[in-house]
Amino acid sequence: MKIQPRTLSGFMELLPKQQAMMETMMQTLRETYALYGFTPLDTPVIEASEVLLAKGGGETEKQIYRFTKGDSDLSLRFDLTVPLAKYAALHYGELAFPFRRYQIGKVYRGERAQRGRFREFYQADIDIIGDGKLDVANEAEIPAIIYRVFSKLGLERFQIRVNNRKILNGFYGMLGLSERAGDIMRTVDKLEKIGPEKVRALLVEQCGAEEEQAGEILRFIGITGGSQEVLAALGDYRGRSELFDQGLQELETVVRCLRDFGVPGDHFAVDLTIARGLDYYTGTVYETTMLDHPEIGSVCSGGRYDNLAEYYTDKILPGVGISIGLTRLFYVLNEQGMLNEAMNTAAADVLILPMVEDLSPAAALATRFRDAGVRVQLYSEQRKFKAKMNYADKIGVPYVVFLGEDEIREQVVACKDMVSGEQTKLDFSGTLERVKKGLEERRTGRVIKG
C-alpha cells in the first residue's frame, strides 16, 4: 500500500525554478550583509524549553512547537533573536563587541493555517550588539543596509520608514500620559486604517486622554513631509523632555548620515506613527514598505533595544537589529507577479548531448568546461534526439552541445544557443568564450521585477 505523499500545510516547498530564485535571494542577502562586516551565525533549531521560553508568557508561547524527548523538554525556535541572546550570553567572553552577526534560518510558529501564513519560515536577521553601550552611529547605518539589500534584490519602489521611541515616549511624557503610552501607540497605529476622527474618539474613550490631549496627539502624529520638515516641526517640542530631546538628536544623526551612507532621500521617510511593539525597542525603529503594495505591511523591520540578554546574564548588551521574513516576502512577491520569471534559473549552463556510445570524449569536454567554471550537465540517457531536446527545453538550459563523431574527429564543439537558436562549430576556447559572454549578458536580471 502506498502512502499519499504530501507536504504539511503552512510549510513552503518550492519547485526548482522558484527554489533557484529563493537561493539567489539568500545569496544576495548573505553578500550584502557581509559588505557591512556582519559575521554569519548558525544556532540549533531545537533549544531547551527553559532557555527558549526564559521570557515566558504571551501569545508566542501558545504557538511554540514544544515536545519531550527522553527527559528533555524541548522547543523549536520561534525567532532568531532569543537564540542570539542565548548565544551572546553563553559565549560572551569569546566574542568581540560590538558583535555584528547575520543569521538566515528557519523558525517555527504553529499559527492557524491560512493562505500566506507559514508555520515554518525563514527569517534573515542582522544585529549589532554592544557591550554596555552602543553608539547611535550604528542605528544610522541600518537604513543603508536595508536600502542596499532591497536594491540588490531588484526592488525599486520601496521606502524605509524611521521613528524613534524616545521621541514618542518623551512626547507622551510631556502630556503626562507616560503610563498610557502603550495603549495610545496601539491606537495611533490604526490611523491609516480607521482615520483620525475614530482615533481621536478611541484616545478619549479608551486611553484616558483629555479632548485637548487627543488633539495634541493627532497634531503630533500628523507631522508629515520630507525628513527636514519633520525634524523642523519636531524642533518646536524641544526643551520640554530630556528623553524627547535625546531621541530627536538621534533621529537627526540618522537623517544627517543618510546620503553619505548611500540612501537616496526618496527611499526614506521619518514616520511618527511607527512604534514597533511596546517593550522591546527603545530608540530608532524601522519599517520598510513596498510603495505599490502598502497592504503587505512592513517587509523589513526592527530597531534599537537596550538589553538583549537580560534573562540570561547581568551584562548589559544593547543592540540594534532588523529582520526580513524571507518566506513570506517570497510568497508575496510570487503572488503579486513580482518575481522575475525571465531570470536564468537553469541549474546548468550547458547540456552536453553525446552522440556516440563512448562516453569519454563527452566526459573530457564536460571536465574542461567545469574547470573553467561553467556548470555542465552531461545527458547520457539512451533516448531519441527529440526527447533529449525536449529535456533541454524543460530545464531551460541556455546552451546545448552536440558531440558526435564529426566533432570529435575535427576537435570542435557544436553549440546551440537555445534562445536565439544560433548554432556554432568552434574549437573549445572559442566555444567557451561565446558561452561565457552569453551567460554574462543573461546575468543582468534581478530576482524582483522593478
- Of 234-273, which residues contact a copy of itself (CB under 8 A)? 253, 256-257, 260-262
Residues, the chain, total? 450
Q: What is the radius of gyration, based on Cα positions, of the chain?
A: 27
* 22 is a site residue for a copy of itself (CB under 8 A): yes
**Residues 175 and 216: beta-carbon distance below 8 Å:** yes
Q: Please give the DSSP secondary-structure letter assigned to residue 421.
A: -
* Among residues 37, 116, 225, 235, the one that binds a copy of itself under rule CB under 8 A: 37
331 counts as binding a copy of itself under rule CB under 8 A = no
**Of the two residues 39 and 228, which places its CB atom closer to a copy of itself in the complex?**
39
Q: Which stretch binds a copy of itself (CB under 8 A): 149-157, 159-167, 169-177, 373-381?
A: 373-381
Hey, which residues between 126 and 155 contact a copy of itself (CB under 8 A)? 130, 133-135, 137-138, 140-141, 144, 148
Task: Evaluate the omega torsion of the peptide bond into residue 98 and state whether it is cis, within 30 degrees of 0.
Answer: yes
Q: Which one of residues 60, 61, 79, 90 is an interface residue with a copy of itself (CB under 8 A)?
A: 90
42 or 433, CB closer to a copy of itself?
Answer: 42
Pick from 43, 178, 336, 424: which binds a copy of itself (CB under 8 A)? 43
| Cβ 449 to a copy of itself shortest distance, Å | 22
386 binds a copy of itself per the rule CB under 8 A: no
381 binds a copy of itself (CB under 8 A): yes
Q: How far is the CB of 367 from a copy of itself (least distance, A)?
A: 4
Least distance to a copy of itself, CB of residue 355, Å: 14
Residues 165-224 that bind a copy of itself (CB under 8 A): none
Query: Within 98-117, which residues bind a copy of itself (CB under 8 A)?
Result: 98, 100-101, 106, 108, 110
Quick check: 34 binds a copy of itself (CB under 8 A)? yes
| Contact in structure between 315 and 92 (CB atoms under 8 Å) | yes
* Strands, E assignment, 291-418: 301-305, 319-325, 350-354, 376-378, 399-403, 413-417
User: Which residue shows C-alpha cell 507622551?
Assistant: 172
450 with 430: CB under 8 angstroms?
A: no
Which position among 58, 96, 384, 386 is part of the footprint of a copy of itself (CB under 8 A)? 96
Binding status of residue 45 toward a copy of itself by CB under 8 A: yes
Q: Of the two residues 77 and 180, which places its CB atom closer to a copy of itself in the complex? A: 77
Burial 213-242 (b: 16+ CB within 10 A, else e): bbebbbebbebeeebeebbebbeebeeebe
Binding of residue 278 to a copy of itself (CB under 8 A): no
User: Which span (30-38, 207-215, 408-416, 432-440) binds a copy of itself, by CB under 8 A?
Assistant: 30-38
Could you say whether residue 355 binds a copy of itself (CB under 8 A)?
no
Q: List binders of a copy of itself among 306-325 (CB under 8 A).
A: 309, 311-314
Cβ contacts of 140 within 8 Å, gap of 6 or more: 253, 254, 256, 257, 258, 261
For residue 448, the minimal CB distance to a copy of itself (Å) is: 19
Determine contact, residues 273/189, Cβ cutoff 8 Å: yes
- The sign one gets for the Cα dihedral 329, 334, 340, 344 is positive
Indicate whether 409 belongs to the interface with a copy of itself (CB under 8 A): no
Q: How many CB atoms lie within 10 A of CB 193?
A: 8
Q: Under the criterion CB under 8 A, does residue 371 sit at the interface with a copy of itself? A: yes
Q: Which residues pair with 401 in a beta bridge?
A: 352, 415
Q: Report how many residues bind a copy of itself under the rule CB under 8 A.
A: 105
Segment near a copy of itself (CB under 8 A); pick from 96-104, 208-216, 295-303, 409-417: 96-104
- Among 78, 87, 150, 286, contact with a copy of itself (rule: CB under 8 A): 87
Q: How far is the C-alpha of 223 from the C-alpha of 191, rounded, in Å?
A: 13
Contact call for residue 89 and a copy of itself (CB under 8 A):
yes
- Among 232, 278, 291, 359, interactor with a copy of itself by CB under 8 A: 359
Q: Are the C-beta atoms of 162 and 251 separated by less than 8 Å? A: yes
Please choose, from the candidates 269, 307, 301, the residue with its C-alpha nearest in 3D space to the C-alpha of residue 285. Answer: 301
239: its cell numbers = 526643551
Distance between CA atoms of residues 188 and 203, nearest Å: 8
Beta bridge partners of 298: 289
Least Å distance, CB 289 to a copy of itself, is 24
Residues linked to residue 99 through DSSP beta bridges, in sequence order: 129
Minimum CB separation of residue 117 from a copy of itself in Å reads 14
> Near a copy of itself by CB under 8 A, which window of 4-12, 150-158, 168-176, 274-282?
4-12
CA dihedral angle for residue 442, residue 448, residue 449, residue 450, rounded to 10 degrees:
-120
Q: Rounded to the nearest whole angstrom, what is the least distance from the CB of residue 202 to a copy of itself in the complex?
A: 35
